[in-house]
Chain A
Amino acid sequence: MANKYRFIGKATPRMDASEIVTGKARFLNDIKQADMLYGKVLRSPHPHALITKIDKSKAEAFPGVKAVLTWEDVPDWKGGTPRYTRILDRKVRYVGDAVALVAAITLEIAKEALRLIDVEYEILPPVFDVEEALKPDAPQLYDEFPGNVVTPGVPFFGPKNLKEVVMGDMEKGFEEADVITEGTFGYENIPNPLPPEPPGAIALWEEPNKLTLWVSNQASYMDKITLFHVMGRKVEVRSIGGPCGGSFGSKFMSWQVQTYAALLSKATGKPVKLVFTKEEHLAAFTVRPSSRMRARVGMKKDGTVTAVSGTWLIDTGYYSMTTQSQVAVGCGEVQIMVRCPNWDLRPVIVCTNRNASGIVRGFGGQELKCILIPLLSLAMEKLDIDPFEFLKKNYVKPGEGYVWRDGIWYTYRGVDYSPAMDKGAEAFGWKEKWKGWLTPTAINGTKQRGVGVGVHGNADIGEDASEAYVRLHPDGTAMLFSCVTEHGTGQRSNYAKMVAEVLQLPMENVSITPSDSLINPYEFGPAGSRGTYAIGSAVIRAAEDARKKLFELMAPMLQAKPGDLDTSDGMVFVKDNPEKKIPWRSMSIDRTITGIGRFEPDYTLTNCMMSFIEVEVDTETGKVDLVNVVNATDAGKIIDPQGLEGQLNGCLGSAGIDSAIFEETILDRSSGHTLNANMIDYKWRTFSELPVITNVVLETPFPSHRFHAVGIGEVATSPGPSAVLMAVSNAIGIWLHEYPVTPEKVLKALGKVSLRGRKGGTP
């Protein structure tokens, strides 16, 4: 089908391309303010302790130090969900917990001052394992969370907020099954999304209650909202976003670093910059939630799932800000992946003495699938069911539905993803490569190949609200007011592209405001692949509204009805008589026209990505090489071909596929220290180890917005990890169920080495 659009679907340069390649893009740490101070955090060496005494006098007296703050000095600001985590507390709950904050005229002086703070601790016993934490005599992290269970049911998503998947008749479901499998599975390697730019903030406090924040966040407007609540709803926050050096979800919640900077600015009256080191980023910023589940599934010979029951334990580390939301979304997403009438899936969110879990691409669903698909695979093996056929059959189809995160049933009204899955399978050669369960695709000496497949999709592509304005100027230009920040997807440019398409303006005639909450309307931000449909809809509506107002104004001048008009390149003309035209400047030079757009949440559409994985396992060394990846999706309509390809290629990094192969945060479960909090020991994929990636993208028009598109970027990391386990198991003919499949685990499975388990509870 020929592309009928002028810009949509065409490869156009990103608006910020020149700034990025010349080094002129101003990331957070590139900003300097006059009289700016530098902040540092003193962190706890103990996983669990009470601060009995802090002497900060030496630090305060050190030349160049402007403020030293401890738990005794700060207001009772709290984060977490529910809000029980104080910004600085008398109790520390993980190795790296904030003990004191310092502001000084240079970073070196601030660092030096940390060493001059004397802290005495009363050591408390820690707990690092989710099941140990649930035992009656386990150390308790918070008085407010008896048994270390994070109070469920915080209504983030309304009064019926999804807390579990419970429906149908379990007894009947298991009776109908031809095969029942059960077991305990984990995805507990807590990978770090690890954007290259570390978290940070610059804060300027103005008495009595005004705070201006320069942030690095994918969703900068939300910092204003989050901090407003953290700071007791008494502070007027202005957030200014700029280029964000990667987030992958994580920087959506940067409330701690922002609040540290704000407190130091409040104490000194000066702007304060506080940027985490990479060590802090790895050991004291959020990681992926850890999941373990004892579960049971029933399946019929034809691949119909009759029942799923299980207790899903989610280790959120020392607090949770969004884990409840991730669990709610995960519970919704699992129903999108597996059609099943009978469910008894009960999540329990648990606190332990490690750094907190937070948002990462895949948002709950990746975590749950990584532990459910291996169990479903055991049933498929017994029934000799091809996993590709199983996943295709069970993925939500138009007319079917799911209980989404708000506890409400939605009927899916999008397209059938089966053709996209078929195209993906064809591109991958699934039929030729699939030889049956636990059967290698090929053996060549010590190298054995295997294949696997996974799927993921979410109904958050229409989550939450967005607002935008489009202002038309007499000189034939338009300005989009949107608080969207650029974090790598290219979406800021794509919104300008959408405006250009609606108004038929050259793209260079469309600009976009800085993502400053002072000038822009509400924006939840790009998350959950909502950028294309949700934010896009608000932008399109604003442009359409401006266009309508333009025609209403111009119609009398052209002796026509508004409905008879069209516009192109800054001219308004009569559709039936294009010679009858006037330029936008006829609106008069002392006028602008502003269109307003808003998007209301819609959970009746979901996206979908299927990933096919081929690995080669060296049975001598245990090394797993990712050879070939095929991602298959239907995007409705491609807006930005290069941006889309980039997002899908992103399946490897940011705690995605590689979290099944080598990525892990290694926690010493006796001391609570993160052992690989640097980028040499935290493994990442280099250029020399790139697999072949093929992205298969169909364009079946969606009932979404004017351009019939849906977003897909966020979920790219999610189908891969469980597919890797499947592929490696098939390659060596032995089930592997622990992430990541490092050489030592492969060799252990092959009986070539013995391995001491890393698991273990309190010391």
Chain B
Amino acid sequence: MRKKQWQGGKNMAAKNKKSGAKKVLAKGRINLTVNGQLYELGIGKEPDQVDPGHTLAHTLRETLGLTGTKISCDNGACGACTVLIDGKAMLSCMTLTVECDEKKVTTIEGLGDPKTGIVDPLQQTFIDHTAFQCGFCTPGMIMSAKALLNDNPSPTEEEVKEGLSGNFCRCISHYHVVKAVLAASEKVR
């Protein structure tokens, strides 16, 4: 596993538009940018490699050690594993890593400013509103909300609920989450 600083991501992604899982298997490695950092991973069964059967959730957690992304149902039903792939909210448990060549992935660890340690405004409103109970579903909630606010910086309450309707929470933090997302949208506006 080699780490590289991300350089010129958009251009590289554009150049490799045709790259798919097949191409990755043929070349035997995958380039994945996670939270601004480029990872060049080999394809194979070693612990630091990507097996063609690995989900992105698995690679993030087990291979890259980014355990902020949670796995709950591992079946595309609960939203706990939500990450951003090229800015869109995606279920990392339903995405094969080999399909993510040249993609830009953002996880919960990638929000906020790594230099100052200041959290993203959305994370801050989650803190301010105690928009969690056990906190297991929270990273997925925040990533779904982040994608929503990226697309629609001023959502209505109904739009927030719709945007988060794929995220399961059992403690019922929903009401506080809606308030936190709306508060974040006001901050951004």
A interface residue numbers (CB < 8 A to B): 11, 13-14, 16-18, 20-27, 29-30, 32, 106, 108, 193-198, 243-248, 277-278, 486-490, 642-643, 645-647, 649-654, 678-680, 684, 686-688, 690, 693
**Residue of A20, A678, A693 contacting most chain B CB atoms (<10 Å):** A20
Q: List 29 A-B contacts (CB under 8 A).
A: A13-B127, A13-B128, A17-B130, A18-B119, A21-B138, A21-B142, A22-B68, A22-B109, A22-B119, A23-B69, A23-B109, A25-B135, A26-B67, A29-B71, A196-B70, A196-B80, A196-B136, A196-B137, A247-B134, A278-B74, A278-B75, A490-B130, A490-B133, A646-B173, A649-B175, A654-B170, A678-B77, A688-B165, A690-B174
Residues on the B chain within 8 Å of A195, using CB: 134, 136, 170
- Nearest-neighbour CB distance to chain A for B80, whole angstroms, equals 6
Interface residues of B in 53-97 (CB under 8 A from A): 53, 61, 65-78, 80
Q: Which of B154-188 contact A (CB under 8 A)?
A: 160-162, 164-178
Residues of A near B137 (CB, < 8 A) are 196
A30 to B136 Cα, complex, angstroms: 11
Q: Which residue of B lies closest to A106 (CB)?
A: B47
> How far is A189 from B119 in the complex, measured between Cα atoms in Å?
43
* Chain A residues positioned under 8 Å from B42 (CB to CB): none
CA–CA, A599 and B41, complex, Å: 55
By the criterion CB–CB under 8 Å, are B169 and A646 in contact?
A: no
Chain B residues lying within 8 Å of A490, measured Cβ to Cβ, are: 130, 133
Q: Cβ of B107 < 8 Å from any Cβ of A?
A: yes
Add 18 more A-B contacts to A13-B130, A30-B67, A679-B72 (CB < 8 A). A11-B130, A13-B127, A21-B123, A24-B109, A27-B70, A196-B136, A243-B134, A243-B136, A245-B135, A642-B129, A642-B130, A646-B172, A651-B172, A678-B75, A679-B73, A679-B168, A687-B177, A687-B178
Cα A649 to Cα B172 in complex, Å, equals: 6
- Taking a contact as CB atoms under 8 Å apart, the answer to whether A196 and B168 are in contact is yes
- Complex: A198 Cα to B128 Cα, angstroms: 28
- Given A649-B172, A650-B171, A690-B175, A24-B68 contact (CB < 8 Å): yes
Q: Does B108 contact A (CB under 8 A)?
A: yes
- The answer for the CA separation of A23 and B146 in the assembled complex, in Å, is 14
Q: Is B77 touching A23 in the complex (CB atoms < 8 A)? A: no
Residues in A with CB closer than 8 Å to B160 are 687
B162 to A246, Cβ gap below 8 A? no
* Chain A, Cβ-Cβ closest to B158: A688
Cα distance, A193 to B172, chains bound together (Å): 12
Closest chain-B Cβ to A514's Cβ sits at a distance in Å of 17
Instruction: Report the bound CA distance from A193 to B70 in whole Å.
Output: 19
Number of interface residues of B (CB under 8 A): 58
- Could you tell me if B123 and A278 are in contact, using CB atoms closer than 8 angstroms? no
Minimum CB distance partner of B47 in chain A: A106
Are the CB atoms of B78 and A246 closer together than 8 Å?
Answer: no
Contacts of A32 in B (CB 8 A): 65
Residues of chain B lying within 8 A (CB to CB) of residue A678: 73, 75, 77
Closest to A277 in B: B74
Contacts of A487 in B (CB 8 A): 134
- Evaluate whether A646 and B133 lie within 8 angstroms (CB atoms) in the complex, with A20-B138, A196-B168, A680-B77 already known: yes
Give, as a whole number of angstroms, the nearest-CB distance from B178 to chain A: 7
Q: How distant is A79 from chain B, measured CB to nearest CB, in Å?
A: 25
| B40, CB-defined interface residue at 8 Å | no
**Distance in angstroms between the alpha carbons of A245 and B136 in the assembled complex:** 5
**B165 and A686 within 8 A (CB):** yes
Complex-state Cα separation, A246 to B78, whole angstroms: 14
B171 engages A654 (CB within 8 Å): yes
B 23-67 binary contact with A (CB < 8 Å = 1; else 0): 000000000000000000000000100010100000001000111
Which residues of the partner chain B approach A196 to less than 8 Å between Cβ atoms?
Answer: 70, 72, 78, 80, 134, 136-137, 168-170
How far does the Cβ of A489 sit from chain B's closest Cβ, in whole Å? 7
Question: A23's contact among B67, B127, B130, B176, by CB below 8 Å, is which?
Answer: B67
For A642, list chain B residues within 8 Å (CB).
129-130, 176
Nearest chain A residue, comparing its CB with the CB of B54: A108
A193 touches B170 (CB 8 A): yes
Q: Could you say which residues of chain A place their CB within 8 Å of the CB of B135?
A: 16, 20, 25, 243, 245, 488
B75–A679 CB distance below 8 A: yes
Residue of A nearest to B177 (CB): A687
Question: Do B178 and A646 have beta carbons less than 8 Å apart?
Answer: no
